[in-house]
């Protein structure tokens, strides 16, 4: 992913279902953003390998959440 300051939110199919994956975040903020997103969405997830992974397809709500914080955010992938 390019390092252009834009947060990208994409969907990935996994064994048990769908994950919403957030990339483009700084390493120092990944854990706190993962915690805040999980609380906001009421679902599980993790922060690893420079990404935040949220269980389920919550892309639209994640984009809205980042936009409300004044971040540049894009839907990516399928």
Please say if the pLDDT value at position 46 is more than 70.
yes
Q: Which CATH number fits domain 7-75: 1.10.3720.10, 3.30.70.260, 3.30.780.10, 1.10.260.30?
A: 3.30.780.10
- pLDDT at position 2: 59
Beta bridge partners of 42: none
Residue 43 C-beta-side C-alpha neighbours within 13 Å: 16
0.85 exceeded by the pTM? Answer: yes
- pLDDT at position 15: 86
The per-residue DSSP string of 2-68 comes to --SS-EEEEEEE-SSSEEEEEES--GGGHHHHHHHHHHHHT--EEEETTEEEEES--HHHHHHHHHH
Rounded Cα–Cα distance for residues 65 and 62 (Å): 5
Give the confidence band of 78 by pLDDT, cuts at 50, 70, 90. low
């Amino acid at each position: 992913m390019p390092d252009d300051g834009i947060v990208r939110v994409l969907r990935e199919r996994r064994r048990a279902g769908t994950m919403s994956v957030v990339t483009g975040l700084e390493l120092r903020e990944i854990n706190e953003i993962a915690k805040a997103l999980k609380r906001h969405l009421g679902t599980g997830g993790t922060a690893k390998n420079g990404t935040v992974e949220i269980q389920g397809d919550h892309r639209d709500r994640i984009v809205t959440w980042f936009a409300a914080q004044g971040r540049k955010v894009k839907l990516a992938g399928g």
